[in-house]
A and B are shown apart, each in its own frame.
Chain A
Amino acid sequence: MSDAGYPDDLLYHPEHDWARIEAGESQEATLGITWYAQDALGEVVFFEAPAVGTRLVQGSPYAEVESVKAVSDVVAPLSGEIVAVNDALEDSPQLINEDPYGEGWMVRIAPSDPGEREQLMDAEAYSATLGG
């Protein structure tokens, strides 16, 4: 398991999902779930990524992540079309626990509405929603 933390370079959705706007002209965004979400879920044993080309809608579920005990929706922090999925999670879903902001990323999308970013929180604001 990883240590608790919320990197400053990410944007956060209140349903415990993060987005990283990648450098470069394409402005692609990488998505995953936060440390808090993976900790609440426990050891992840199954993640099935949607297909490349799937369209995501901000605030709507696009995948499911399962621990031994529970299944949880993964909510899209931004709208857009999937351009890549993390195939490594099929055989090694525990990467979501071990490295939720790195090797545990879930999908990369081409965002369809850059303005949606304004609705996401920075690390400080997101951390504050988790309480003490």
Chain B
Amino acid sequence: MCPPEDKPHAACLETAHVRSLRWRMRQRNSESPARTASLRAVPTTLRRTPLYDRHVAAGAKLVEFAGWEMPVQYEGVRHEHTAVRTDVGVFDVSHMGEIETSGPQALELLQRLISNDLAKVPIGGAQYGLLCREDGGVLDDLFTYRLDADRWLTVTNAANHERDLAWWLAHAGELDVQVEDRVEDYAMLAVQGPRARELVQAISDAPLPPRMSAATRRLAGAQMLVCGTGYTGEDGVELLLAPADAPALWDELLRRGARPAGLAARDTLRLEACYHLYGNDLSVERGPIEAGLGWCCVEETDFVGSEAVRAVRAAGPRERLVAFAIDGPGIARQGNPIAGGGIVTSGTFSPTLGIGVGLAYLPAERAAVGTRLEIDVRGKMRPAVVREKPLYRKGS
């Protein structure tokens, strides 16, 4: 896991001295009866983002996430969540991976790999899509940015990056295309919230790109790719820049009032907005139609898995991913079974709504909005209701 010496992006460390941060809560779910709390020093190496020192200085709790040592929270998840909903927050998401695809047949390769129709993306455009296996099982969900006519940048989930890269290379075959692992070349910050654009615009040399598009801009003296995308349900931008430039930009964003927000708030924000989290709501076990992502599958492009997707779309899925809210006290968690069939894939306490919410796969005939459910939360049956997606809409 140790990157080469000349790469400043990620450093390696022994985790022994962060022992106090690794207290495993006695978490329980239906699959694992009881895990005992322990103060363990996990003998492994974790990668650090270029903002590691900033996180420590800000008092962040750091946790292992997909091989990286990441800030899970600073002052507190509710505070950070509210900052993003009402003002502006900044997330260090430098653990996300990047793959650059370029050359005369770059589009051909991407059309083969990604479920959406990239031919429709103009230069400077962005598009969400899925990476599927032949059987339709989802390998990753990704944003792809068209940097130039024949140059594309795809952002991967940290836990899937190596597998994605191998998948890219395996399908490149004889095509006239260059596939580059750019994970070491980019830090990534997400500035999100109703005041995010105003704040970033104030330090930009040109107007920011609109939603679902990307453009190179100079911010606080450093050149970077500014993308009108996010994962919070709020307006905002994501910034891809050289790791060496990240600390100064972070400082400037904080100086102008952006509040640091950790992975815990990122999760509650995305769940209220009903954005999928790979590993929870998406996996190789289920396909795009089941996940409610048929809108980003264009079978006519013949992407890997398109035949399986076409068949499920025609026959109708047996399961559907729904949003739910607990009716009363309690918080459902990933893995909780649902009476009569179905399983919770993401569950948390919604800071905005003040109740337990989540996403669950349900038999298709019981997936309609308004359907009443009973979720088995560690032996207690908690009533819940299937709700319309998203659970939270900007400005509501």
Chain A residues within 8 Å of B, Cβ to Cβ: 1, 15-16, 36, 40-43, 45-46, 48, 61, 64, 66-73, 90, 129-132
Contacts and interface: CB of A to CB of B under 8 A. Distances in A.
Contacts of A132: 20
A69 B348 contact: yes
A130 B330 CA distance: 30
Give the 6 A-B residue pairs with the shortest CB-CB distance, closest first.
A70-B25, A45-B349, A73-B26, A72-B25, A40-B23, A68-B77
Interface residues on B, range: 20 to 34
B378 interface: yes
26 contacts: A36-B23, A42-B61, A42-B73, A42-B76, A42-B264, A43-B76, A43-B78, A46-B330, A46-B356, A48-B330, A69-B72, A69-B77, A69-B264, A69-B267, A69-B348, A70-B25, A71-B28, A71-B331, A71-B333, A71-B378, A72-B26, A72-B27, A73-B26, A73-B34, A129-B39, A131-B39
Contacts of A69: 72, 77, 264, 267, 348
B329 interface: yes
A5 B106 CA distance: 59
Interface of B: 19-20, 23, 25-28, 34, 37, 39, 61, 72-73, 76-78, 264, 267-268, 329-331, 333, 348-349, 351, 356, 378
A56 to B, nearest CB: 16
A1 B75 CA distance: 9
Given A64-B378, A68-B77, A69-B72, A46 B349 contact: yes
A96 to B, nearest CB: 13
B189 to A, nearest CB: 22
A46 B329 contact: yes
